[in-house]
Amino acid sequence: MLLALVQSNEEGQVCYQELIELMSSKRSSSFRRAIANGRRTLQREILLDETGLGLYKRFVRYVAYEILPCETDRRWYFHQNRLCPPPVFIAIVTIVQIIVFMCYGIMLNKWVLQTYQPDFMKSPLVYHPGHRAQVWRFFSYMFMHVGLEQLGFNALLQLMIGVPLEMVHGILRISLLYMAGVLAGSLTVSITDMRAPVVGGSGGVYALCSAHLANVVMNWAGMRCPYKLLRMILALVCMSSEVGRAVWLRFSPPLPSSGPQPSFMAHLSGAVVGISMGLLILRSYEESLQKQCSWWVIVFSFITFLLFAIFWNIFAYELLGVQIPPPP
């Protein structure tokens, strides 16, 4: 990196500020451009040419090519990665979801279509429109799942996509994206499907997946992950089938139930959050979001939606005369 920076300057010198930015692992836009221009003169500019790597460094290289579209960013992430802090957010969320599911599965002796069990819907974690005054339910529903198939799908996707994203972009950005998808999911259901409960972490999962897929499409030429077209098609097919299954369970449940089944709108709102907020986060690798005008536009839009949803939940149900099914 230092050699590339020297070769990019006309005088062949590095100023003090550029040296500080290099040693402190911080890169300004001018510093990034210098590295991008200077790397053309490096004899070995492709990270895949690195040999003699251990298992962990090979995995880091795989993550770099899986997530980042620019060779300069890949090399920078590969050489400065120290696994500190470790990617624990997605792992902890997945473990808690599995533990909660197993506890209810053992207690109810039911591992599929758990929402048809009245005791399941009595959980203080499920979002139910009759309990919308309990604010934590707008977040805690992500730990509950319809059944083993929904849990398996969400856990697999968020581990395969969320852990590499968290390794590259950090716990703060990825947790923000995931929780924004979760919150947007429950709030969207409370506005568009006012009688339906919500369970499952699909809002956060779809925020991660849609952000990653949108980033791959926007940087198609620069992405070097193998079989990217086939993998994208498979991801879209899986996500679409999951949405279709959720729609079917909402409007044509296979068994009679005492109330409406969980809504599918959390999937769609999570995807919208991923394409809007998540795409900007993933495209701004090691760049300050606070300095970008588009970031503040997205934050302002999300806050506006949040305020509207709060007033909607306070006043709209009574004004519209919505008949909410009695809470379990």
Residue 181 has a pLDDT of 95
- 147 is written with which tokens? 């059944």
278: nearest Cα among 212, 211, 216: 211
Domain of 242 in residue numbering reads as 88-320
Domains identified in the chain, total number: 1
Tell whether 70 is covered by a domain: no
Q: How far is it, in rounded angstroms, from Cα 122 to Cα 90?
A: 27
In 186-211, which positions are buried (b, 16+ CB within 10 angstroms) versus exposed (e)?
bbbbbeebbbbbbbbbbbbbbbbbbb
DSSP state for residue 324 in the 8-state scheme: P
Tell whether 196 is covered by a domain: yes
Tell whether 25 is covered by a domain: no
Q: How far is it, in rounded angstroms, from Cα 206 to Cα 211?
A: 8
Tell whether 17 is covered by a domain: no
Length of the chain as a residue count: 328
Tell whether 177 is covered by a domain: yes
The answer to whether the Cα torsion of 196, 199, 200, 206 is positive or negative is positive
Supply the CATH number for residue 212's domain: 1.20.1540.10
Q: How far is it, in rounded angstroms, from Cα 63 to Cα 78?
A: 9
Q: What are phi and psi of 51, to 5 degrees?
A: -120, 165
Within a 10 A sphere around the Cβ of 149, how many other Cβ atoms?
14
DSSP state for residue 291 in the 8-state scheme: G
Q: How far is it, in rounded angstroms, from Cα 146 to Cα 93?
A: 17
Tell whether 49 is covered by a domain: no
CA-derived radius of gyration, the chain: 23
SS3 content of the chain, % helix, strand, coil (to 5): 70, 0, 30
Residue 25 has a pLDDT of 58
Tell whether 51 is covered by a domain: no
* pTM of the shown model: 0.85
The answer to whether the Cα torsion of 124, 269, 300, 285 is positive or negative is positive
22: nearest Cα among 41, 44, 6: 6
- The angle subtended at Cα 200 by Cα 276 and Cα 141, nearest 5°, is 95
Tell whether 296 is covered by a domain: yes
Helix pair 228-251, 148-157: axis angle to 10 deg: 150
- Identify residue 63 by its one-letter amino acid code: V
Per-residue pLDDT of the chain (328 residues; tens, 9 = 90+): 677 767 766 777 877 777 776 676 555 555 565 555 554 444 445 677 677 788 888 888 889 888 988 877 787 788 777 777 788 999 999 999 999 999 998 988 888 888 878 888 889 999 999 898 999 999 999 999 988 888 999 999 999 999 999 999 989 999 999 999 999 999 999 999 998 899 999 999 999 999 999 988 888 888 888 788 888 898 889 889 889 888 888 888 776 666 778 889 999 999 999 999 998 888 888 777 887 889 999 999 999 999 999 999 999 988 888 888 777 7
Residues known to be catalytic? 202, 267
- Which residues are registered as beta bridge partners of 178? none
267: nearest Cα among 162, 154, 132, 155: 154
